Every structure is written in C-alpha cells, then in structure tokens.
C-alpha cells in the first residue's frame, strides 16, 4: 500500500494548495536537473545527417554505384567537416590551371554543374564545386536560416578545405547558376578582391516579387500553419515521380515560389497552376545531369534527393524564405559601384575589366531574360555587364555546358582575366 493512503485525508483546499506548491517546487527543481543531466546525445537535433551517413552504410558497393547520385560520380571528391556539419566537395583539374568555383541552384545538387565543370577542366582549369547544405551529400543545419550569411560561411569553409590557395587577390573565377547566381552577387560584393571574374548563368537575385503567388506566400510563410504541415505539402510538390503518377505537371527552381509565369515583351502572357516545385517542364525535367551517366536526368536526381536527403525539404523551404532570390537591388547596386571602380585606370584587385557576364536562356520561364537585362541595367549600369542569350530554357547549364565554357573563356580573354 502506498504511504499516501496512511495519511489522514486533508480538506480539498489544503490538497489544492499542497499540490500547487509541490508542483511549483518540483518544476523549479527540475530546471537545474535537466540542465545538469543533458548530454550531447540528448540535445535538440541541430543537424540532419546526409545520405553519407543515413543511406550509404546500408548499401553494397554495387548498390551505391547504381544510385542516381553516386558519391564518387565526379572526380576529386572529399567530405569536409565543418561546424555546421559535413559538406561534399569536388575539386579536380591541373593544379596550376585557372581556378573556378561553381555554385549550383536551389533544388538540384552540384551534380547539375558537371557538364560545365568538365568542359572547363578540358580547357585546363582547376574547378571546385560542392553541395549546398541540405542538398546532395551535405548535412543540413537546422538552427540557422538559409540566408547569405550561412551560404557565405559555407563558401569560405569550402575554399579553406583545399590544399591549394583559393584566397587572396584575384584568387578564383566565380560562376553561379540560378540560386547560385543570387548568392554569388552578395558574396562578390563583400569579397571583391578575391573574385577574378563573375559569371551568372540564369542567375537569381533580381526576380521580381510580383511573380510570387498567394499560394506560395502561404506555403513559405511562418507562424500561420504548423511547420510539419507545410513541409509535408512541399515535399509532395517537390517529388517529380509522385507528380507524374498523380497526373500533375512539375515545375522547378524559383518557379516553385512564383506560381505565375509571365513571359513579357512580345511573348503571350500565360498563367500556370503551381502544382509541383521541382522542374520547369519536360525540357528541364528530362535534362541529362552528367555526361558520365547518359541516362541520369534531373527528375531521377530530384526523386533520389526527396527520398533520401532527409534535410532537403527543410533547406529548400528555408532558402525560399531567406536566400537572396528576390529583389536584391541593394547588393546588385553595391556591386555596380565596385565594377565602376574596376573600370578606372588605377583599379583595385578583383573583378578584372569591371564587367559581369550574364548567360541567359531565350525560353527560360524562371529567369526571364527581358526582365533581368532591364533590371540589371538599372542597378549595375549598362557598361557593367555583357549578356549572352542561348536558345535554351532554365536547364541550359546542363544541356549547353560546353558552349557556356567557350563563352566564359572568351569573356575572360576580353576582360584580361586569364593568365594571371
């Protein structure tokens, strides 16, 4: 029998007062106890591990080789430990070649830059590319917003991981694709001396906020609905295989947060329902990601990532909310001032020639070339950039990698940014 039954039953008010006091005492006492007994294994999860730890140890070598994104598909791979978790980095090419850092887009890992990277290496360059946090084989920190501060930190950590020097004056060329272009501009603004030249391929950053639909404002809002509900919806919208089975269309990159595709200036205006978020139609969805695996498409990589990269949806949603995708005029204007300074006779190091190269797709529904050229002229100045338009959509970095490499080489030669 419990000792409680041996005590004479007090009056109800006394019981309430006693239990209330006991509850307060126990509550106050529990606080230091929790703090003292908490260990690293019981702390809140601040990092979601990548497939490097959650998937690969469960597979055979044959099964790993058959993955949509094998960890050794590109040369020079390494796993870099950082305060934010591990980062997957690839670096290869001649040690003395022109150094080129490539930044990938929002929804696909750095594998999407493989064709361009290999074409640059064929020209004698030394390339480095890596998976952003929450993409591919990089871990997912969950206690920080995916804003320019986190992305800048990741870039600097990746640069420092090489046995070669990737810092100092005019240390490397920077190429950013889609979201990577949006990140490349503020990074260059803060480290202009390090960046020999800047190339933006269908780059984000100046996407007009008018393209954000009310559905997207709700999906990527905070505080209105529980986060787990929003993540479940976004996860389904990001899955290309599930989308096809459901009979829906799939969309990609920044388009997931636009909802409306407005092709302006001579093009017929159209509105498309925002059904899914992972591809820009068949041309993007079926684009070949790597020449090393001819059958490997964007759709296959996206499906693998949604199923096996447990932090992907979190990183995706946080990037939509915080990354430099929309209306980043302050950073672009500041970059315009730096470029103007570089066009002077006596100029500081970096950004040689004082010109940025914009590579755009004629039929890109995500980065509309007319809008970007117009807005870049306003914030950078018409002398601060050169624009090259290719007959392609948003997948141009995958389908036209060799051609883009030739365009980039010509741009370097014209601006004196090679052979330093």
Based on the domain organization, do 387 and 327 belong to the same domain?
yes
Other Cβ atoms less than 10 A from the Cβ of 141: the count is: 24
The average pLDDT across 66-73 equals 93
**Are 155 and 57 within one domain?**
yes
In a domain, 377, yes or no: yes
pLDDT for residue 277 is more than 80? no
- Answer yes or no: do 112 and 35 share one domain: no
E-assigned strand segments in 161-283: 172-177, 195-201
Residue 360 resides in a domain? yes
φ and ψ at 416, to 5 degrees? Answer: 70, 30
- Claim to verify: residue 182 and residue 133 sit in the same structural domain: yes
Q: Is residue 5 part of a domain?
A: no
Q: Are 55 and 116 found together in one domain?
A: yes
141 and 224 part of one domain: yes
Based on the fold, state whether residues 133 and 233 are members of the same structural domain.
Answer: yes
In whole angstroms, give the CA distance from residue 356 to residue 317. Answer: 29
On whether both 32 and 154 belong to a single domain, the answer is no
Query: pLDDT for 143-180, tens place per residue?
Result: 999 999 999 999 999 999 999 999 999 999 999 999 99
Q: Any long-range contacts for 119-123 (C-beta under 8 Å, 24+ apart)? A: 119/401, 119/402, 119/404, 119/405, 119/406, 120/93, 120/405, 120/408, 121/92, 121/93, 121/97, 122/405, 123/405, 123/409
Residue 2 belongs to a domain? no
Identify which of 120, 268, 145, 144 has the alpha carbon closest to the alpha carbon of residue 197: 120
Same domain, yes or no: 18 and 100? no
Res. 273 pLDDT band, cuts 50 70 90? very low
Residue 296 is predicted with a pLDDT of 86
CA distance 263 to 325: 19
Tens digit of each residue's pLDDT (9 = 90 or more) over 111-137: 999 999 999 999 999 999 999 999 999
> Which one, of 132, 167, 125, lies nearest residue 148 by Cα?
132
State pTM to two decimals: 0.82
Q: How many domains does the chain have?
A: 2
Out of 76-90, 94-108, 290-304, 386-400, least confident range? 290-304
Choose the most confident range, by mean pLDDT, from 104-108, 206-210, 224-228: 104-108
- pLDDT reported for residue 252: 42
- Over residues 97-116, the mean pLDDT reads 96
- CATH number of the domain encompassing residue 238: 3.40.50.1820
Band of residue 266 on the pLDDT scale cut at 50, 70, 90: very low
1: in domain: no
Predicted confidence (pLDDT) at residue 250 exceeds the cutoff of 80: no
The answer to the question of residue 335 being in a domain is yes
Q: Specify if 4 maps to a domain.
A: no
Report, as an integer, the average pLDDT of 268-277.
34
Q: Are residues 277 and 413 in the same domain?
A: yes
Picking from 57-71, 89-103, 233-247, which range would have the lowest pLDDT averaged per residue?
233-247
| 3 domain-assigned | no
- Tell whether 101 and 241 lie within a shared domain: yes
- Is 111 found in the same domain as 26? no
The domain of 316 spans: 46-420
Largest CA distance in the chain: 96
């Amino acid at each position: 029998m419990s000792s409680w039954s041996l005590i004479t039953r007090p009056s109800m008010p006394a019981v309430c007062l006693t239990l209330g006091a006991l509850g307060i005492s126990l509550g106050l006492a529990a606080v230091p106890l929790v703090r003292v007994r908490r260990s690293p294994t019981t702390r809140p999860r601040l990092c979601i591990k990548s497939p490097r730890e959650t998937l690969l140890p469960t597979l055979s070598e044959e099964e790993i080789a058959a993955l949509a994104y094998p960890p050794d598909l590109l040369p020079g791979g390494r796993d870099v430990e950082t305060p934010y978790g591990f980062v997957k980095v690839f670096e290869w090419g001649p040690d003395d070649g022109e150094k080129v850092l490539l930044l990938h887009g929002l929804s696909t890992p750095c594998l999407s830059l493989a064709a361009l990277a290999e074409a640059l290496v064929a020209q004698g360059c030394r390339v480095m590319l890596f998976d952003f946090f929450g993409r591919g084989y990089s871990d997912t920190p969950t206690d920080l917003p995916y804003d320019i501060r986190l992305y800048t930190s990741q870039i600097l950590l990746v640069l420092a991981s090489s046995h070669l020097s990737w810092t100092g004056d005019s240390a490397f060329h920077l190429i950013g694709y889609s979201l990577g272009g949006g990140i490349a501009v503020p990074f260059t603004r803060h480290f202009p001396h390090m960046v020999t030249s800047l190339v933006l391929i269908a780059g984000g950053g100046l996407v007009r906020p008018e393209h954000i639909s009310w559905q997207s404002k709700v999906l990527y809002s905070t505080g209105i609905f529980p986060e787990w509900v929003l993540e479940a919806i976004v996860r389904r919208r990001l899955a290309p295989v599930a989308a096809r089975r459901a009979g829906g269309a799939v969309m990609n990159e920044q388009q997931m947060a636009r909802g409306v595709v407005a092709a302006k200036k001579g093009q017929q205006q159209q509105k498309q329902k925002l059904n899914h978020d992972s591809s820009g139609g068949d041309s993007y969805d079926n684009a070949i990601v790597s020449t090393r695996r001819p059958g490997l498409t964007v759709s296959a990589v996206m499906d693998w990532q949604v199923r096996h990269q447990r932090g992907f949806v979190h990183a995706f949603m946080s990037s939509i909310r915080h990354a430099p995708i929309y209306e980043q005029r302050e950073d672009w204007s500041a970059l315009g001032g730096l470029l103007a300074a570089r066009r002077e006779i006596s100029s500081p190091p970096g950004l040689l020639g004082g010109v940025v190269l914009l590579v755009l797709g004629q039929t890109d529904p995500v980065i509309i070339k007319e809008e970007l050229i117009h807005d870049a002229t306003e914030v950078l100045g018409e002398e601060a950039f050169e624009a090259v338009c290719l007959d392609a959509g948003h997948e141009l970095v995958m389908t036209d990698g060799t051609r883009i490499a030739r365009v980039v080489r010509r741009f370097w030669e014209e601006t004196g940014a090679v052979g330093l």
